[in-house]
Amino acid sequence: MAVANGSIELRTGDIALQRVDVIIVPATFNGLKEGVVERLGEIEYEKTHVDVDGTMYTETNGGKLCCKRTLFSNWLPSLLINHDNALRFSIKTFVSKSLEYIIQGNEALSIAFAVPDSCANESILADEMIKEAKHQLETRKLQLKISFVCLPEQQTLYEHFSHAFPDLNGVHLFFDWPTATKITRPNDVFHSWDQHTINLFYKYCKDRCVLPKLMDTKNELELMGPS
């Protein structure tokens, strides 16, 4: 989605494999942060900034990762935040402060947020992260490509993010780990299906971003999508 001088993308894959200037990794319960630190390798430098609200940002070099810099944060959209307005404010603050920190040197042209796994209301999480990113791009006139990266198993969260974009026609969707599975002799499976069942099958594929393709031989059906 093009926004002012920048853009917003939705990706599924491994945050550590994103070829961007900076990856931003908040606190998670699934061990993502620890996994990124382990693959980072040797840390050449480490700078920590603590915001007035207690949120901590620690910057390091990109190490063995595909990015130039990493920004870790202890921010957590806590399950204890039951008030929607408080949750929205917390999300907006995290996104705006992260971008404020990143653009201080005016060197970053692309960043990727790892989407946290600890929010009780994933719809609000997706909505506010995208809205605030869009707001920052518009008000600051940033020439910045912002990506939100979901893990392949975060299918429900991915759907919330995809629905949060105002115009899906302008959204860039990427899969870092596309895989293909082939079903041989599909007619043996599908010959008894009525039109309603076929429609349900294609809707099932569409909802999971899987592309079904009947091969030229008509004897194989290829299903391609995220692993």
- The neighbouring-strand residues paired with 70 are 23, 60
Distance CA 123, CA 127 (A): 6
Whole-prediction pTM value? 0.71
Strands (E), the chain: 2-3, 6-12, 22-25, 46-50, 56-61, 69-73, 110-114, 145-150, 172-175, 178-184, 211-214, 220-226
Domains of the chain by residue range = 2-175, 178-226
Break the chain down into helix, strand, coil percent, rounded to 5.
35, 25, 35
Architecture of the domain whose range is 2-175: 3-Layer(aba) Sandwich (3.40)
Put residue 54 in one of left, alpha, beta given phi > 0 → left and psi -120 to 50 → alpha: left
pLDDT tens track of the chain, all 227 residues? 888 889 999 988 889 999 999 999 998 777 788 889 889 988 899 999 898 888 899 999 999 999 999 999 988 876 555 688 888 998 999 999 999 988 886 689 999 999 987 787 889 999 999 999 999 999 999 899 999 998 888 888 888 888 887 654 444 455 555 555 656 655 655 666 667 677 777 777 776 667 777 766 666 777 776 65
